[in-house]
C-alpha cells in the first residue's frame, strides 16, 4: 500500500522529469508546502514561477 512518502517522491520525480531549467522548479517547490501542492497548483502558477511551456505540458 502506498504511503505519504511514496506520493511525495512521485511528485518530486514528476517535477524532475519535466526537464528544462531547474531554477523555476526549485522556486515552485520553495513556494509550495509540498511537492504535490506544487503539482496541484496548476498551469497558471507554474507559468508564474517561470516554468516554460514544455515544462508545463510535462506536468
Query: Domain ranges in the chain?
Result: 25-59
Give dist(CA 34, CA 57) in Å, integer: 20
Q: What is the pLDDT of residue 2?
A: 59
pLDDT tens column, 2-49: 567 899 999 999 999 999 999 999 999 999 999 999 999 999 999 999
Give dist(CA 28, CA 51) in Å, integer: 9
pLDDT tens column, 42-58: 999 999 999 999 999 99
Main-chain phi, psi angles of 41, to 5 degrees: -60, -30
Give dist(CA 44, CA 9) in Å, integer: 23
Give dist(CA 53, CA 59) in Å, integer: 10
Q: Read off the pTM.
A: 0.86
Amino acid at each position: 500500500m502506498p504511503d505519504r512518502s511514496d506520493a511525495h517522491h512521485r511528485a518530486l520525480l514528476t517535477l524532475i522529469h519535466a526537464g528544462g531549467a531547474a531554477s523555476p522548479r526549485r522556486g515552485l517547490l520553495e513556494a509550495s508546502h509540498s511537492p504535490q501542492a506544487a503539482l496541484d497548483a496548476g498551469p497558471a502558477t507554474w507559468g508564474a514561477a517561470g516554468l516554460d511551456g514544455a515544462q508545463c505540458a510535462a506536468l
